[in-house]
A and B are shown apart, each in its own frame.
Chain A
Amino acid sequence: MSFTPSVVSDSYIYEPAPRAPDGPGNYRTQWQSEAESYQLGEIIRIPLSQVERGFVNVQESFLNLTIKDVALTGTGFAADNTRMSYIGGNAALDQCNLIAGGSYVQHTTQYQSIFALNFVNNTDINNSLGNSITNNTADPEKSKTAQMVGNSFPLTLTGTTGAAQSSDVTMSIPLMGLLSGQKAIPLGLLTSETVIEIYLTNDIKNILFNNASGGTITSGSCTFKASFDALIEVVSPSAMTDIKAASSGNNGIVSWSSTEQRASSNTITFDQLNSVQLSEAQFLCTGVKPRKLLSLVAGCFVANSQGDTDPWSVVTPWDLSQSGLQWQIGTSLYPARKIANRAEMIKHVSAAYNQETYSTQANRFNESTFVNRIGPVALDTFRSCCGIDLTSFDKESDGVDCSMVNIMIGGNLKTTGTAQTKNYQLVTVKRFGVLYSIDQSGTWSLSY
């Protein structure tokens, strides 16, 4: 049979859009947590219903989170100046996992760090309008285009040493990872219970900070309520048969590819940060060793032990004009020639977020706050980071095999003149390709 390609372009071919898979249709519901409310440090568990022939459309689903009954003690509280972190409600989530049949299919620790790095790298002023409502992230009205500072938290003050929440803060937060992925989760194929597991942070200072001059937070408590607002698609039996037939590979196993992010951390001591001379430092990036490592993004966080700093302000620790920054994966060096300064840092980390050209750049970096040490927030949040894109032609499916080698990060540290008194946590986020599989017995597994 011969096939003659058409000379007519798509613009001149008229055809109606196809119909979606047959079925009773969709519905939206809220999957409730197992407990009505939670305290700091507790674990929220939200079971997903096993819907026959159902899919949860994670692209259109989100976590409803309420923070209430905040009670704070500290010093120097002033009206409207106790603020939520600029990453909003995401600051309350230490971990976000998805467990199917007792096994992790997503295990995201250091959730706040990953979110902060993604937020400064991959959102812009347009996104900040809606996000300021849904996530309670930094409100663009309080910040100029270039500025970013967390929103005031609604509090009633008791003098200057205590404060209590005056109204509930509600948020609707799309969760990172599998729960906001491209593919709908086929609930109808699973045979055992699937649960969203969220570890709440154990310290209120990971969520709030006192932005008044000289003000602190010493302790606090709060209550959380949560539900998962899900869009459920239900298809007909015949459509389900078609979907299985189209998706099944060997032995009826349904598999699909995706990407995941995991974080690992190292400590940089304040002695190292205060080095008067350029001092070369190298750290082993711990954690998973995937076969398709797509990118590495790194930044430093500092503990909010006094309650006076946004704990998710993130900076690159390396010297900004003589960075000497390079990753070593096995015996290969990335990039081959060391990253020398902050302009090169931005270009490399932008590539990791598909932002290589002027017309695709969409981030919250700014000349005055792309610094390498964290100071008082005042009217802006310090934010910078570094990273490397390890893909060549395809952002999703190639990358570097690091399953049998170590990953090292190294660069030059030097004081900026302001002595640091706290250690920094250097967090490295690995983005890598993963393969999800559901076998005939309905067991869901993950490999990478």
Chain B
Amino acid sequence: MSSQSPAVPHKLVLKEGDMPLPSSYSRTRFSATEGTSSDISNIHIPALRNAYLNCKDSFLTFSVVAKINGIELPVNYANPTAPTAAELVTDGNLLLDPSGACSFISSITLLQNNVQIQHLEHYSKIHSMYSVAGASLDAGGIRAVLSGSAYYTGERDSKWNGTLLQSGTPVTHFGKIGPGSAKANATCNTPQMTFAIPLMGLLSTCNLPLSMLSSGITIRINWSSDVKNSFYCQQAIAPATQATIINRGEMNFTNVTFDAGVAVLDDASQLAVERENNYKTQPVSWTGDSYYVAIRDTTKEELGTATTANQILGGVTFTSTKSILYGSFCKPADGSNLEPSNQPHIAHDSIRYRVNGVEYPRQPIDTLDKMVAQTGVVTGSTSQSTSTGLMTREFTTSNFRPKTGTATAADIRSNDRGVVGLSLNNWPAMHATSGIDTRGGDVSAELTTTGVTSSADLTSYFVACFDVQYILEDGVLKQAF
């Protein structure tokens, strides 16, 4: 029986809202067990009594200092208060990748008792591709503060930073270059850069019931091992003053924590929650998104020849595959850093998939406008008034080719970015488990180029997003898909 009159519109019904469950809410920083690390950090979150981890309100924080070997890189001022003209000239030469802090993360793994719950390999690429597909321009300012990503101030092309170029931020914006950084040493010790970024996957939105776990969970972060994944060089026009990074360098990560919102219920409330979810008698289960990346080496020979290539996306075998995002990335190469390597591009002219042998879509996605519109279907922003993402007419092209060798004036202005999405979701607006079952068949990509010479290879990434069901049974958290 309904308690309110159907004749009265709901907005005219005045009523009291529910009271929150009696609880305390606090912020807790779960620190990595390694003080400083250059490869792996582990953060252990214990199974706290009556506690719930509010993932929507939680984020990863870390600091990094990189030792970068190269030429024409920023230097340490001999006199910090009065730098010379020669010292200032290289200040803007070393840039953080436009995607910011995510570029430092190679993979993220969630474990319970050393058993894997979720693993996101190529995390930096997933994060970057979804940013290009769906991030908003006017949130760029706060994103830049939190993650060091490119920002936008509304300027036209009068400056390199703060424009629609979305150029990487000079490392000197984060502080003074460290001691030992000198042209004679061919070394630059970056200032300590600190970031706070939300994580994708299980830790993105759910209210994780720590109290129901038999043992805590561990967040394992595998850090990138090559500075060229995260840094590139601003190019001057004169080759003699062109900055480059010459090898993999070193990076040290410190202050690695998961800054979390934790609600602790009182005992009566905890009992009510357990009763509501039948926790004692049946598994607790909820739904989320996860990501899997398939990779293809796109050679310069292929890019330079008019051809159609087919690539089986091995491993994309899920009960509910919802979408696939495509993007090609420049390979980090010693001595050639004209392009950031964590920025996705559209290197092909046309793309189509075969899912279980059936063409998706029926006709290839063969123009830039179709590529962007199809990506809008994935992010739920097809309409003109809801479209988001960082792709724009001036700085997104299909048939992208990386720049190598000597820069030109035009190179300084360009910062191409683009991805191509394809939704496989039935009723995408319904928020149901409604992707395509790809367990019994192959997913293959059909990639066409019209043959424009390329001087470097690219790596193409295909991020499959799929529905997962998290199941918590007998205190053990599992992922089913």
Residues of A at the B interface (CB closer than 8 Å) are: 3, 6-9, 11-21, 23, 25-30, 57, 59-62, 64, 118-119, 122-137, 139-142, 144-146, 151, 170-172, 174, 180, 184, 229, 231, 233, 362, 393-394, 397-398
Contacts and interface: CB of A to CB of B under 8 A. Distances in A.
Given A125-B138, A141-B395, A393-B9, A59 B382 contact: yes
A118 B385 CA distance: 9
Nearest to B1: A3
A64 B372 CA distance: 12
Contacts of A13: 276-277
Nearest to A1: B1
Interface in B360-390: 360-363, 367-370, 372-373, 376-377, 381-390
A398 to B, nearest CB: 8
Nearest to A123: B385
A394 B138 CA distance: 29
A174 B377 CA distance: 11
B136 interface: yes
A141 B362 contact: no
B157 A141 contact: yes
Given A134-B369, A134-B372, A30 B363 contact: yes
B370 A174 contact: no
Contact of A7 (B18, B385, B389, B395): B18
Given A130-B372, A233-B427, A394-B9, A12 B276 contact: yes
A128 to B, nearest CB: 8
B369 A133 contact: yes
Contacts of B285: 14-16
Nearest to A135: B384
Contacts of B381: 130
Interface in B114-144: 136-138
Contacts of B434: 19-20
A12 B377 contact: no
A12 B207 contact: yes
B21 interface: yes
Interface string B380-416: 0111111111111111100000000000000000000
A397 B9 CA distance: 10
A8 B467 contact: no
Interface in B81-116: none
Nearest to B209: A14
A30 B360 CA distance: 12
Contacts, number: 199
Interface residues of B, number: 71
B360 A27 contact: yes
A57 B427 contact: yes
B286 A9 contact: no
Contacts of A127: 384-388
Given A18-B433, A130-B376, A60 B388 contact: no
A118 B363 CA distance: 31
A145 B154 contact: yes
B272 interface: yes
Contact of A17 (B384, B388, B429, B467): B467
B426 A23 contact: yes
A162 B391 CA distance: 33
Contact of A129 (B137, B428, B430): B137
Q: Kindly list the 6 A-B residue pairs having the minimum CB-CB distance in the complex, ordered from nearest.
A: A20-B434, A28-B361, A172-B373, A130-B387, A141-B394, A132-B393
B267 interface: no
B11 interface: yes
A1 B137 CA distance: 54
B306 interface: no
Nearest to B394: A141
Contact of A9 (B21, B137, B384, B386): B21
Contact of A16 (B52, B358, B433): B433
23 contacts: A9-B20, A11-B207, A12-B21, A13-B277, A16-B469, A17-B432, A17-B467, A59-B382, A60-B423, A62-B373, A131-B384, A132-B392, A134-B369, A134-B376, A134-B387, A137-B384, A139-B392, A140-B137, A141-B393, A144-B155, A151-B393, A231-B377, A233-B426
Contacts of A394: 9, 11
Nearest to A18: B432
A346 to B, nearest CB: 18
A56 to B, nearest CB: 12
Nearest to A118: B385
B426 to A, nearest CB: 5
A180 B383 contact: yes
B15 interface: no
Contacts of B136: 126
B372 A172 contact: yes
Given A14-B209, A127-B385, A140-B164, A20 B392 contact: no
